[in-house]
Amino acid sequence: MSYLPLLISLPVLMIDGLIEVGFVGSMVGFLHDRAGKSFTVDAPSGPFNLHGKPAGLLVDQGHTSNGAAGTAVILVGILGFLTIWHERRRTRKTSPTTTIHPHSGLFTFWTILTILSAMLTLAALIYTFVLTAQTDNQTIDLAVAAANSDPLMYPDDKWTPENWFVAVLALPLAHDSDRRDIRNNLRLMRGWRWNLIPLFIFGVGIAGLAVWELFRGRKWMRTRTTEGESVEKFRHSGNQS
């Protein structure tokens, strides 16, 4: 039995999943490192230090996206290669001359995992885009920010990391290096959000291939069973005559 389409698709999914994990990890690193400190703002009323993170920072969408990517890499990708290796080994032992054979329970279990993984990625995609849209176009009130300067966090509204730093960039920051760091990390934050789309497409494609392969094996099994019953009936009728 040829698993070539799956063997080609699985590495693509794993690479994209690792890219997603890297994007989310870079955002987490930035939040814990540079954003854990303050940015100096040259406000008209005088400079003040703005804490790098707001009090209402939303991060669950990042955890969900990271979980979806990790699931795609480990449970779909790595386990998928092990499952195909097991199926090929099993075929060589049981029916080495047969190109199609019924699949094991492990392959059925892995196929279910591919479907669940694609659904998790879809949930992460919808969750992330909806949350980003709901918190878009918010601005930071300079008076409120100055009254809650570092070490206090900006208290108003709820923010995704991406939308928070877009709003921070709209402020009169004192240092160009801060602007440069924020712009660079904003590209990565947008990257992990948009990368969920190809991750979902690849996941659905692999789930479809796995389901097709599973039903192909079961169809072959039903055909063999029907043929066996027909041969047995023919032999039985011949013996009676």
pLDDT at position 88 over 70: yes
pLDDT for 225 equals: 47
For the ranges 96-105, 134-143, 186-195, which has the lowest average pLDDT? 96-105
DSSP per-residue codes, 62-112: HHHHHHHHHHIIIIIIIHHHHHHHHHHHHHHHH-TT-S--PPPHHHHHHHH
pLDDT at position 62 over 60: yes
* Average pLDDT value for residue range 55-77: 96
Six-digit token pair at 124?
A: 């992460």
pLDDT at position 95 over 90: no
* Average pLDDT value for residue range 195-200: 97
pLDDT for 98 equals: 55
For the ranges 65-69, 122-126, 234-238, which has the lowest average pLDDT? 234-238
Residue 75 CA to residue 117 CA, distance in Å, equals 8
For the ranges 116-120, 139-143, 210-214, 230-234, which has the lowest average pLDDT? 230-234
Q: Which helix (H) or strand (E) segment is 47 a member of?
A: strand 46-51
For residue 19, give the amino acid letter. Answer: I
121 torsion bin: left (phi>0), alpha (psi -120 to 50), beta (else): alpha
- The structure tokens 């960039």 sit at 169
Residue 101 CA to residue 193 CA, distance in Å, equals 40
pLDDT for 150 equals: 87
Nearest of 223, 152, 195 to residue 20 by alpha carbon = 195
Determine contact, residues 59/65, Cβ cutoff 8 Å: no
Chain centroid to CA 164: 23
pLDDT for 224 equals: 52
The pLDDT confidence band at residue 97, using thresholds 50, 70 and 90, is low
* Domain coordinates in residue numbering, the chain: 4-228
Q: Which residues neighbour 16 within 8 Å (Cβ) at sequence distance 6 or greater?
A: 72, 195, 198, 199, 202
CA Rg value for the chain: 27
Q: What is the pLDDT of residues 1-23, one digit of tens each?
A: 578 999 999 999 999 999 999 99
For residue 216, give the amino acid letter. Answer: R
